[in-house]
Structure 1
Amino acid sequence: MNARAALFDLYGDHLRTRGGRASVAALVRLLAPLGIAAPAVRTAISRMVRQGWLDPVRLRQGPGYAVTPKCERRLDETAARIYRMGGMTWSGRWHILVLEPIRDRARRERLRADLTFLGYAPLTETTWIGPRPSPELDELHMPAHRFEATLEGDPRTLLARAWDLDGIAKAYEDWLTCAVDLVGSLSESAPDDLVFAVRSRLLHGWRNFLFRDPGLPVELLPTGWPGEAARAFFEREAARLLPAAAAFVDRSLES
């Protein structure tokens, strides 16, 4: 886990509900159990400021950083998908983006990465689909036409064409095996900082599925889809480990 990803996880999972701000010293303390050193934390913070995710603030504890409105939207959207808030229902309609050609390769690759994270998959180089519109699309400032439509035919065929279902299923199975081992490494008397570290790694591994599974419609997935067992394990263990992890966060913020 790199420092930038760890900071996004930290702000989204803990700091967003605590005012969305923390001192630099607290951020360093909070990432130490993950083996991330202070210089890496400061470098990642600087990068996130340049990208518009964080703003510098002066706190009682000293210099710190707060989430920007752009970051708040990203964290809220991410949390909704991580914890499946609202049941991730599907209306039966696909959200379609028809992009204008982008000649600059670096910009084109950034846009592909952003659209993948927001839950879209390419049908062609310029046509992307998702099971529901993302509220973050306006942040991308991309030249595109947007539509909502139903498919004439079996939507399972479209789903299998756009997403690698076999690959996603295997990733869920592999993640669950590793997650069981990770959580099982904790003893009942594990200190709060260790519980925080394990829960953070559990969350980070689960968060990576945002790049692969946008919350695909359950009614279109194969019977016995392994994502459901993986999701149930994540939600149960994340909730069980939260009190000890939150205690470490509160203590680190107050120091």
Structure 2
Amino acid sequence: MTSLAPLNHLITRFQQQTPIRASSLIITLYGDAIEPHGGTVWLGSLIQLLESMGINERLIRTSIFRLTKDGWLSAEKVGRRSYYSLTGAGRRRFEKAFKRIYSSGVPAWDGTWCLVMLTQLPAELRKQAREELEWQGFGAIAPTVLACPRGERADVTATLQELGALEDSIIFETRPQDVLASKALHMQVRDSWNIDALAAQYSEFIQLFRPLWQALRGQDRLEPSDCFLARILLIHEYRKLLLRDPQLPDELLPGDWEGRAARQLCRNIYRLIYAKAEEWLNGTLETADGPLPEVGESFYRRFGGLN
């Protein structure tokens, strides 16, 4: 445990999950901290790093085995040591989510929409297509019609093609609108994207992490181990929220949208602690060549700039 009460609360909260979501946390760790350093680490050093989260060695090894079996990670043996990296497929799976996390803001919207009709698909394939498109930010405006502002047709086409659903789906794109969000459209957005439930989840995130922000700001000297724990829990919880967030344009969201405050809070904490957390990572994780490689320039562009 640490001397920071809000951080202890967050660690305890994570440990009390039933079951502990160790695999999900490991994916967060790879995306946030390991990929920028080359993407490969020795399993022993990964175990040492995560033990401070209260995750025992057996659970870590079991989680790594499952992630490898499911195609997220790949292993390479060097002598008696095993080194794990994200697979190409694993990297592609989380790339978009992590790009969302560290973006400086939501892009401007010109009022265009992408509509996808799934009427002609068999029921099971329609369900799969709907789940995949909803993950990309689409919402159901009718039982078999999904819509997304700013939807990228190329991404939609690739998703449907991969599912074998493209030939029996219909894709429309609307023209830019002068009036971006009428009262009726705001009401439809609330229904189709379950905005109220998402707002409540963002509010909970703020209530969890605002005390941590206040505690960290009040420290004369930040401890590297505390900063690592704070950073991994911060990004882990924020990532889970963004996976549920369709990233709708501001014009379609309520004026008091909690997602804006949550992003600001996440950015502020990350900027405060990332450097000390890097010290802890560099001193704990190992590659086959020894210390971690330096992070690339793109790392410092997170949240609109870390320096």
TM bin, normalised by shorter chain, reads: 0.7 to 0.9
Q: Which residue of 1 aligns with 2:297?
A: none
| Equivalent-residue separation in structure 1 for 2:244 and 2:229 (angstroms) | 24
Task: After TM superposition, list the pairs within 5 Å mapping 1:20-31 onto structure 2.
Answer: 20-31=39-50
Q: Which residue of 1 aligns with 2:64?
A: 45
| Equivalent-residue separation in structure 2 for 1:190 and 1:136 (angstroms) | 45
- Greater shift after overlay, 47-56 or 190-199? 190-199
| Equivalent-residue separation in structure 2 for 1:71 and 1:248 (angstroms) | 25
- 1:96 deviation in Å? 3.1
| Equivalent-residue separation in structure 2 for 1:168 and 1:57 (angstroms) | 40
| Equivalent-residue separation in structure 2 for 1:113 and 1:201 (angstroms) | 27
> Residues 81 and 210 of structure 1 are in contact (CA less than 8 Å); yes or no, is this contact kept in structure 2?
yes
Kindly indicate whether residue 80 of structure 2 is the aligned counterpart of residue 80 of structure 1.
Answer: no
> Residues 193 and 246 of structure 2 are in contact (CA less than 8 Å); yes or no, is this contact kept in structure 1?
no
Distance change (3 Å), C-alpha of 1:139 and 1:221 = closer
Q: Which residue of 1 aligns with 2:195?
A: 165
Match of 2:37 among 13, 18, 23: 18
- Greater shift after overlay, 34-43 or 231-240? 34-43
| Equivalent-residue separation in structure 2 for 1:56 and 1:149 (angstroms) | 46
Kindly indicate whether residue 81 of structure 2 is the aligned counterpart of residue 58 of structure 1.
Answer: no
Q: Which residue of 2 aligns with 1:120?
A: 138
Match of 1:241 among 273, 282, 286: 273
- 1:151 deviation in Å? 8.9
- Greater shift after overlay, 161-170 or 89-98? 89-98
Partner amino acid for 2:89? Answer: K
Distance change (3 Å), C-alpha of 1:162 and 1:198 = same
Q: Which residue of 1 aligns with 2:211?
A: 181
- 1:185 deviation in Å? 4.6
| Equivalent-residue separation in structure 1 for 2:214 and 2:201 (angstroms) | 20
Partner amino acid for 1:128? Answer: L
Q: Which residue of 1 aligns with 2:243?
A: 211
- Greater shift after overlay, 227-236 or 113-122? 113-122
Q: Which residue of 1 aligns with 2:303?
A: none
Partner amino acid for 1:162? Answer: S
Partner amino acid for 1:52? Answer: G
- 1:102 deviation in Å? 3.6
List gaps (5 residues or longer) in structure 1.
none
- Greater shift after overlay, 24-33 or 93-102? 93-102
Of structures 1 and 2, the one scoring higher in RCO (CA 8 A, sep 6+) is 2
Residues 113-162 of structure 1: CA deviation (Å, up to 9, x unaligned)? 54443323333454333332384874673224244335988343432221
Q: Which residue of 2 aligns with 1:149?
A: 174
- Greater shift after overlay, 1-10 or 80-89? 80-89
Percent identity for Structure 1 against Structure 2:
28
- Greater shift after overlay, 35-44 or 95-104? 95-104
Partner amino acid for 2:135? Answer: F
Rg larger in structure: 2
> Residues 106 and 247 of structure 2 are in contact (CA less than 8 Å); yes or no, is this contact kept in structure 1?
no
What RMSD over aligned residues (CA atoms) do the two structures have, in Å?
A: 2.9
| Equivalent-residue separation in structure 2 for 1:53 and 1:136 (angstroms) | 23
Partner amino acid for 1:148? Answer: E
| Equivalent-residue separation in structure 2 for 1:89 and 1:12 (angstroms) | 26
Q: Which residue of 1 aligns with 2:88?
A: 69
Partner amino acid for 1:233? Answer: L
- 1:8 deviation in Å? 1.0
TM-score normalised by length of structure 1:
0.84
- 1:235 deviation in Å? 0.6
| Equivalent-residue separation in structure 2 for 1:67 and 1:136 (angstroms) | 25
- 1:243 deviation in Å? 0.8
- 1:20 deviation in Å? 1.3
| Equivalent-residue separation in structure 2 for 1:71 and 1:139 (angstroms) | 16
Kindly indicate whether residue 161 of structure 2 is the aligned counterpart of residue 129 of structure 1.
Answer: no
Q: Secondary structure at 1:222's aligned position in 2?
A: coil
Distance change (3 Å), C-alpha of 1:77 and 1:211 = closer
